Amino acid sequence: MPAKVNLDEKFALFSDRWAPRIVGRYNDNEIRLVKVEGEFIWHCHEDTDELFLILDGTLDMEFRDRTEVLEAGEMIIVPRGVEHRPCARHGEVRLLLIDPKDMPNTGDQKTATLAIDI
């Protein structure tokens, strides 16, 4: 049966940064929560788009030719194959990501942080 998910309660269960937590699944997608702070690595996802929804804080999404500044309540979809680097330079940012099942957060299993269920 369907059950509601309280995002604040889920965020309270972890404190590490850049380590996605899976809070739901539908079709072949995972709903992931992540806390970020500082700069991530430059990367791309060759086979899928990536959705970032900013729940709290300010995120700079860097592209090789520009930077998009995202505030709480805004989202961005990074098209497949586009190199990008998320950065949280003004404190912690809380994000909701929608990714295909088992997709590595860096686009490469060798450098990825494994998303785990909570």
**What pLDDT digit, counting tens, does each position of 31-55 carry?**
999 999 999 989 998 888 999 999 9
In-domain check, residue 53: yes
**What pLDDT digit, counting tens, does each position of 2-38 carry?**
889 999 999 999 999 999 999 999 999 999 999 999 9
In-domain check, residue 3: no
Grade residue 1 by pLDDT with cuts at 50, 70 and 90: confident
In-domain check, residue 4: no
Q: Which residues partner with 84 through β-bridges? A: 43, 63
Among 93, 117, 114, smallest CA distance to 102 is for 114
CATH code assigned at 75: 2.60.120.10
How many folded domains does the chain comprise?
Answer: 1
In-domain check, residue 7: no
Q: How far apart are CA 55 and CA 7, in angstroms?
A: 10
Handedness of CA 97, 39, 113, 117 (dihedral sign): negative
In-domain check, residue 90: yes
The residue segments making up the domain with residue 95 are 21-117
Q: Are 42 and 85 in contact (CB under 8 A)?
A: yes
In-domain check, residue 57: yes
